[in-house]
Amino acid sequence: MSRTDAAGLRAAAARVAMAVLRDGRNLEEGLDAEPAAGRERATLQSLAYGTIRWFFELDACLALLTDRPPERLDPPVRCLLLVGLYQLAHGRTPAHAAVAETVEAVRVLGRPRASGLVNAVLRRFQRERDLLVQRAHRDPQARHAHPWWLIEAIRRDWNERAEAILESDNLHPPMWVRVNARRVDASAYRARLAEAGLDASPCAFAPEALRLAQPVDVRILPGFAEGDVSVQDAAAQLAPRLLALDAGMRVLDACAAPGGKACHVLELQPGLAELVAVDIDPGRATRIRDNLARLRLAASVKVGDATEPAGWWDGKPFDRILLDVPCSGTGVIRRHPDIKLLRRPADIPAFAARQQALLEAAWPMLVPGGRLVYASCSVLRAENAAVVEAFLAARPEAVEMTESARLFLPAPLPECGRGPGLALPTGAADTDGFYYACLDKRA
């Protein structure tokens, strides 16, 4: 890659970072606005994601390197400086190249007069890195690379596990896949991966899950186009077994997009009477249909608001309901580091209110004797156990059965957070943070 191309990628990374920091867009939207493809896109993604992942540390260092607060700098210049600092602090590019290419990127951004500032800041950081990082880390936000409100919330909810969760959030996420049990078993597929030069390890408590030693493009996975395998974190693969499915059941997957859990349900229990998958977003509902088609599975996909069943429900009750609620996503921060910047403290009670409304709306659709599994990819108690506790207190016919449901999993789970329900912390068995609660309705 020429220096000009490298400078262009750094300028693009600064634009992506600016889309998050200034415009409030997520990283995927910012990346999609850039024309990079193939290896260039992979490099751009690494730079942009790394810069946002370490933003609170990098910005604290930047504050020590300039004579004005970082938020008062020209936004494109500030974001480019953050990209440069990320390369020097956490990247693999040789320091001299990182500095030179980032300085060159100033011109690509149309800010040539800032080249002296960028050069001076990066070279000083290169010389005084250890001291500057040490000073920056006096602030817990910089030390943990998380906003203060989230650090406090995780410490409050997880006590001695909090530090491990915060550390896991800053790691590159592993790539987990789910083997389609209708087509091949996990051990046979692992052998196919080995033949393709891909090393993978199994997960005891999620038998269809394999963890790849290195992330790869899905097109490289043997049989991906034919539906032999899907990408899904191992923690998300617990849902079908907690549902305790039997042939002939009618199942609802509410808030179902992009359809990974619905497809897993159908892979494990082909004898269902019907699976209804509902999502409020038409575009995301299309993704459910696309995943079903690739895996050669059938379900009834409906566009509708799960809090207003009258708009899509036919009145026939369900034997099982999977309620995978919209949430803060704090259990998947390592996959979506922009969550640290886009979420606000006020978002959490708003999510909790929505989750409570979804639970209240879903419960009447469940047959007496049926089971509802409440799931979220948050690690915050306010969105998980607190919602379930409030529901149980108001519904005497609801019985929390998560602990007994765990006994039917193929293997014990890693240490979990306090109940009710099952709270997996981020990084446990190298999985995402996830929460489940199994709620049975008394007959």
Q: How far apart are CA 18 and CA 37, in angstroms?
A: 20
Rounded to an integer, what distance in angstroms lies between the CA atom of residue 318 and that of residue 166?
39
Whether the Cβ atoms of residue 435 and residue 177 lie closer than 8 Å to each other = no
Three-class SS of 319-385:
EEEEEECCCCCCCCCCCCCCHHHHCCCCHHHHHHHHHHHHHHHHHHHEEEEEEEEEEECCCCHHHCH
Beta-carbon contacts of residue 163 (< 8 Å; ≥ 6 apart): none
CA–CA separation, 399 and 394 (whole Å): 11
State both tokens at 307: 């809090």
* Residue 298 · residue 292 · CB < 8 Å: yes
Which residues make Cβ contacts (< 8 Å) with residue 350, sequence separation at least 6? none
Q: Are 129 and 90 in contact (CB under 8 A)?
A: no
CB atoms within 10 A of CB 347: 13
**What is the distance between the alpha carbons of residues 201 and 224, in angstroms, rounded to a whole number?**
18
Identify whether the C-beta of residue 154 lies closer than 8 Å to the C-beta of residue 165. Answer: yes
Tell me the longest C-alpha to C-alpha distance in the chain. Answer: 74
- Set out the domains of the chain in order of their start, with CATH numbers: 3-143 (1.10.940.10), 175-231 (3.30.70.1170), 235-441 (3.40.50.150)
Q: What is the DSSP string of 128-180?
A: HHHHHHHHHTTSHHHHHTS-HHHHHHHHHHHGGGHHHHHHHHTSPPPEEEEE-
Task: Give which of 405, 404, 429 is closest to 416, Cα–Cα.
Answer: 429
User: How many Cα atoms occupy the beta-carbon half-sphere of 333 within 13 Å?
Assistant: 31
- Does 377 participate in catalysis according to the annotation? yes
pTM (2 decimals)? 0.95
CA gap 432, 331 in Å, rounded: 6
Note the pLDDT of residue 4: 56
| Phi, psi dihedrals of residue 359, rounded to the nearest 5° | -65, -45
CA 440 to CA 443: how far, in whole Å?
9
Could you report how far apart the first and last alpha carbons of the chain are, in Å? 67
pLDDT per residue, tens digit, the chain (443 aa), is 445 589 999 999 999 999 999 999 999 999 999 998 888 999 999 999 999 999 999 999 999 999 999 999 999 999 999 999 999 999 989 999 999 999 999 999 999 999 999 999 999 999 999 999 999 999 999 999 999 999 999 999 999 999 999 999 999 999 999 999 999 999 999 999 999 999 999 999 999 999 999 999 999 999 999 999 999 999 999 999 999 999 999 999 999 999 999 999 999 999 999 999 999 999 999 999 999 999 999 999 999 999 999 999 999 999 999 999 999 999 999 999 999 999 999 999 999 999 999 999 999 999 999 999 999 999 999 999 999 999 999 999 999 999 999 988 999 998 788 889 999 999 999 999 999 999 999 98
Whole-number Å distance between alpha carbons of 174 and 152: 26
Are the C-beta atoms of 371 and 320 separated by less than 8 Å? Answer: yes
Given 79, 263, 327, 377, which residue is catalytic? 377
Residues 96-107: b if buried by 16+ CB within 10 A, e if exposed: eebbbbbbbbbe
